[in-house]
Amino acid sequence: MRNQVQLIAYADRFGGTIERLHRLLNEKFPGAFGGVHVLPFYSPYDGADAGFDPIDHTSVDPRLGSWADIERLAASYDVMADLIVNHVSSSSPQFQDVVAKGRGSAYAPMFLTMSSVFPGGATEADLTAIYRPRPGLPFTALRLGGELRYVWTTFTPEQIDIDVASDLGQDYLHQILDAVAAAGVRFVRLDAVGYAVKTPGTSCFMTPETFDFIAAFTERARERGVEVLVEVHSYYRDQVAIAEKVDYVYDFALPPLLLYAFSTGDGQPLAQWLRDRPTNAITVLDTHDGIGIIDAGPRRGEQPGDPIRPGLLTEEQVDTLVAGIHQRTGGSSQTASGATASNLDLYQVNSTYYDAMGRDDAAYLAARAIQFFAPGIPQVYYVGALAGGNDTELLERTNVGRDINRHYYSGTEIDADLQRPVVQALLQLCRLRNTIGAFDADDLEVELARSVLTLRRGDPGGPRARLTVDLADGAASMDWTDTDGVSGRLDDLRQLLD
């Protein structure tokens, strides 16, 4: 993966098709992005969960384009694609065959039911131990061949969990891997992989068996020339452990820590994480999901009386963080988060990152600069690339909380936003991040003096870069010396807004 900023985008919401997204990158964002994570483009891209519930995971939805369009995009940019390992659509032909034939279906072993995981029955302790991203148990009562069964559905009744240990489940996943690799996709994101392995008597989330599955799948992917990004929202120590076993992990702790630092002026938790975090990370401030809170907070024990494991933020600091986001968004994030608005992920706050920072241009640029200085590959979500605000109209139409951060951009809107100083400044920062040689090394020196954070990358005898940010007011400066000895300086990142 080239060490340049990547874009995260839905093709239908940012361009309209894969070919138009490609054209946007070339014509409207030259030099800003070296890669693009195209969010699910499989058939259908507009199902119950915005493409994360594919009926046919090996075909491109013809309304968006074809594998040839993906191949052309991959010839110019590093392309990342989602591989949804945990589940498939309830409308898929495989599951529909099970609905019709029940236990007699050739595809029956591909899907999980309560009895296939707990053949001897489950106790109350077994069921309450299961880690859930939403209230209730992970089962849906469905008739399979006329027989009422409890089918395992981690997320929604439209998303049926796969038995990834079965021959059919493995064949299914390898077919998808073959399809994306043949189109030139060299990076896959394992969506919801933390839930993929169900082991009786455990939380069924990020267990040792899950790590074994990730390691085995990563080996299969590498055989095809494909690198693997693991997507898990969890306790920060889990991310550190996962990073030792895979190509890349998300740094999901960074977004809440930055928000806390800029809203309070307290940079201690952020500075400590920047010193300790894994370097084989994909850094993000925003994605198609909400802003993770669990990633920075403490972990409660699974059983009553178990000790609470400290997080990067205390429970009180997490409360301050969440309250601040809701206040800065005028309450729109609160309307879109928690148990309201059909949310699946109760541990996330739904808001654009720009709104979560109170639409403060200087602080927003400084936060992006810190993201770009953190070792790893930075990704910028398409709404964040245009410093977009919360789409409350879309939220009202769909009552889906995450839609507040999933705006459908017209060409006219994109052109207008590209003229805004904050957007032009962000794209200039992207181009600097892509060209300064100091970012090719994984080192990071971190200093914190009261509210002033200083980050240094590179070798004093070679390419180097320094960023200084006052977290109390968002004022930031940056200077660098590149491989050829050419130096540059921005005494104040707000100069980019002029």
Mean pLDDT of 390-414: 95
In this prediction, residues 403-414 reach a mean pLDDT of 97
pLDDT band at 37 (very low <50, low <70, confident <90, very high): very high
Among 23-37, 172-186, 474-488, which stretch is predicted with the lowest mean pLDDT?
474-488
How many percent of the chain have pLDDT more than 70?
97
What is the arithmetic mean of pLDDT over 125-149? 91
Decide: residue 305, CB within 10 A, 0-12 exposed, 13-18 middle, 19+ buried.
exposed
Give the pLDDT confidence score for residue 451 in this predicted structure.
96
**Secondary structure E strands in 289-436:** 291-292, 348-349, 377-381
> For 268-326, what is each residue's pLDDT tens digit?
999 999 999 999 999 999 999 999 988 999 987 655 567 888 999 999 999 999 999 99
The bridge status of strand 147-152 relative to strand 139-144 is antiparallel
Helix (H) or strand (E) holding 189: strand 187-191
429 Cβ contact list (under 8 Å, min separation 6)? 365, 368, 369, 372, 493, 496
Q: Report percent pLDDT > 90 for the chain.
A: 81
Where is average pLDDT lowest: 235-239, 475-479, 483-487? 483-487
User: Which one of 53, 82, 163, 231 is the catalytic residue?
Assistant: 231
Q: State whether residue 470 is helix, strand or coil.
A: strand
Q: What's the pLDDT at 340?
A: 55
pLDDT of 361 reads: 96
Confidence class for position 131, pLDDT limits 50, 70, 90: confident
Listed in sequence order, the DSSP H helices in 129-204 are: 167-182
According to the CATH classification, is domain 93-160 in 3.30.70.1230?
A: no
Report field, pTM of the whole predicted structure over 0.85 = yes
Give domain limits for the chain. 6-87+166-440, 93-160, 445-497
Q: What is the mean pLDDT of residues 12-26?
A: 98
| More confidently predicted of 472 and 1 | 472
* The pLDDT of residue 134 is above 70: yes
Q: Any idea of the CA torsion for 437, 443, 449, 453, to the nearest 10 degrees?
A: 50
pLDDT of residue 497: 83
Model pLDDT for residues 435-451, shown as the tens digit of each residue: 999 999 889 999 999 99
Residue 346: is its pLDDT beyond 60?
A: no
Q: Which three-class secondary structure string do you get for 408-439?
A: CECHHHHHHHCCCHHHHHHHHHHHHHHHCHHH
- Partners of 248 in the beta sheet? 229
Is 231 known to be catalytic? yes
CATH 3.40.50.150 fits 6-87+166-440, yes or no: no
Segment (H or E) for 362? helix 361-373
* Mean pLDDT of all residues in 10-31: 97
From CA 27, how far away is CA 31, in angstroms rounded?
Answer: 10
Q: Which of 191, 295, 355, 391 is catalytic?
A: 191
Mean pLDDT of 463-482: 95
Distance CA 57, CA 153 (A): 18
Clarify whether 482 is annotated catalytic.
Answer: no
Q: Residue 412 phi/psi, 5° resolution?
A: -65, -40
Tell me the C-alpha distance between 348 and 87, whole Å: 21
Angle separating helix axes 254-264 and 268-276, nearest 10 degrees:
150
For position 245, what pLDDT does the model report?
Answer: 80
63-98: per-residue pLDDT in tens? 999 999 999 999 999 999 999 999 999 999 999 999
Confidence of residue 416 (pLDDT cuts 50, 70, 90): very high
The model's confidence at residue 342, banded by pLDDT at 50, 70 and 90, is very low
341 has a pLDDT exceeding 50: no
Nearest to 478 by CA among 447, 456, 445, 446: 456
For residue 302, the model assigns a pLDDT of 59
